[in-house]
Structure 1
Amino acid sequence: MWVILALLLALSSGTLSQDKLNMCMDAKHHKVNPGPEGQLYQQCAPWKDNACCTANTSEEAHDDNSYLYNFNWNHCGIMSHQCKKHFIQDTCFYECSPHLGPWIQKVDQSWRKERILDVPLCKEDCHEWWEDCKNEITCKTDWHKGWDWSSGTNQCPKDSKCRKWTEVYPTPKSMCEQIWSNSYLYTSYTKTSGRCMQLWFTGENPNKKVATYYLNNAQPGKQSFALTTLLLLAFASFSVMMH
């Protein structure tokens, strides 16, 4: 009885085993728990106060063909600096952010056990990313899969050809949603709305408030079901004890 009551208190106070507002996903380079990292490198630096990445991971995120994933940004020629900076910010967001809990999903993949799905991105982030990359060239729509890895880094598959970015991704929405297998969801929300996640920021991390909103509003049914279940268990246990 007392164990169940303790669980009820934990649920009501938001302190069940894993806090979805401050957690790291179970993936290749993530820390087990978020915490301060005083020396995060360059574009990963905004997460230094509370990060799921280490300083070494943040440095590798800036390198071409880094050991993180051996991913080759230059698979159809040299990617421009203005475009690449968005992919570095995207990597920092993925590796370092401790506020992705509402969108973490279980997966059965050799290199990770969890991923993010449909994280709502701010309109400005998608548009600026697409605008700075629109003159690039690529051979694939979904960069998560289908590459030729025989050389040790990703190369275009034989049946593909390098095409203009705007042919592969005609809109910012198509790029943001397709490039990483729907990890991101395009939204019309702006950065001041409090309803979308920012890939990069300066100063205080604005994304915890956004995650809080979605955790409290997007999953009320799940929370009510869990609370109701625990209440029923508590009453059942109490009834058994009384008899």
Structure 2
Amino acid sequence: MGLAYVKMAARWAMLGLLAACMASAAKESVLNMCMDAKHHKTKPGPEGALHGQCAPWKDNACCTAETSKGAHQDQSYLYNFDWNHCGVMPDKCKQHFIQDTCLYECSPNLGPWIDQVDNSWRRERILNVPLCKEDCELWWEACKDAVTCRENWHKGWNWTTGTNRCPRGSTCQLFKYVFPRPADLCEKIWSKSYKYTTEHRGGGRCIQMWFDPANRNPNVAVAKYYAQNGRDASPAPRAVLLLLPAALLSLL
């Protein structure tokens, strides 16, 4: 009875140790990864020739130079999406959408918010990425007088022409009516990919949509914080499954 108890205790101790190691490794794995999506690289790495506003990620990117060029086009081959579906989008507004695209396509620091999906064009997406207050509010301020006919740009379009067109019966309206508050824009336009926060740039608690390429990437520290603390996020399921040791299963 005593020997059986010791063996049982040893197994549970080993189980706890392996589980702790697995959790630690999973947290580390989400700090430098690319999501499984249409134009993303398998692994992040240097891309010295990234175009325009995607350049800050050139030292470690999930996008290629070709993808970064597509991110700057009004009707890009990336998704055949036309920013000008309700007339010409003002340049100051378009700048923020380009930054948004560059963050999505190029950043290797979104791992804590990667979620599984079952789409024809991607198997993973980002969900509830905590966006810095300044980034969200500047985006809204720059775009409040732009025009759109959709609140959620992920769905509801007429694609019969091969690009997005406003569906029949919809009305083109100013952004400030479609999205009355900055939080409405940031959270609704891409199906809750982003979450509006009151956290400020440089505080280590929110993702910056863009940063000065002359400085270090501030989102590295933010991803590490959320991976370690798990607040509003958990490690990506894909990373956890890949790290599950066979030895752990053998103890169950």
TM-score normalized by the length of structure 1: 0.87
Q: What pairs up with 1:82-101 in 2 under 5 angstroms?
A: 82-101=92-111
Choose which of 49, 53, 60 in structure 1 pairs with 2:63: 53
Q: Which amino acid aligns with 1:163?
A: Q
Q: What pairs up with 1:90-169 in 2 under 5 angstroms?
A: 90-169=100-179
Tell me the distance in 1 between the aligned counterparts of 2:133 and 2:162.
Answer: 35
Q: Which residue of 1 aligns with 2:225?
A: 213
* Number of residues of Structure 1 aligned to a counterpart in Structure 2: 230
Equivalent residues of 2:28, 2:227 under 8 A apart = no
Gaps of 5+ in 1: 238-243
Q: What pairs up with 1:24-39 in 2 under 5 angstroms?
A: 24-39=34-49
Cα–Cα, structure 1 residues 201 and 24, in superposed 2: closer, same or farther, change >3 Å?
A: same
Cα–Cα, structure 1 residues 158 and 25, in superposed 2: closer, same or farther, change >3 Å?
A: same
Tell me the distance in 1 between the aligned counterparts of 2:99 and 2:189.
Answer: 15
Tell me the distance in 1 between the aligned counterparts of 2:233 and 2:39.
Answer: 33
- Report how far residue 221 of structure 1 moved: 11
Choose which of 11, 15, 25 in structure 1 pairs with 2:22: 11
- Report how far residue 219 of structure 1 moved: 6.1
Identity of aligned residues (%): 57
Cα–Cα, structure 1 residues 159 and 62, in superposed 2: closer, same or farther, change >3 Å?
A: same
Q: Which residue of 2 aligns with 1:172?
A: 182
Tell me the distance in 2 between the aligned counterparts of 1:16 and 1:174.
Answer: 32
Q: Which amino acid aligns with 1:136?
A: A
Equivalent residues of 2:113, 2:233 under 8 A apart = no
- Report how far residue 15 of structure 1 moved: 3.9
Tell me the distance in 2 between the aligned counterparts of 1:234 and 1:68.
Answer: 42
Tell me the alpha carbon deviations over residues 123-177 of structure 1, each in whole angstroms, 9 at most, x when there is no partner.
0000000000111111000000000000011000002010111110001011000
What CA RMSD, in Å, does the superposition of the two structures yield over aligned residues? 2.9
Q: Secondary structure at the match of 2:118?
A: strand
Structure 1 runs of 4+ off > 3 angstroms? 3-10, 14-18, 219-223, 232-237
Cα–Cα, structure 1 residues 49 and 154, in superposed 2: closer, same or farther, change >3 Å?
A: same
Cα–Cα, structure 1 residues 120 and 98, in superposed 2: closer, same or farther, change >3 Å?
A: same
Q: Secondary structure at the match of 2:92?
A: helix
Choose which of 194, 197, 220 in structure 2 pairs with 1:184: 194
Q: Which residue of 1 aligns with 2:3?
A: none
TM-score normalized by the length of structure 2: 0.84
Q: Secondary structure at the match of 1:77?
A: coil
Tell me the distance in 1 between the aligned counterparts of 2:35 and 2:199.
Answer: 25
Tell me the distance in 1 between the aligned counterparts of 2:18 and 2:78.
Answer: 39
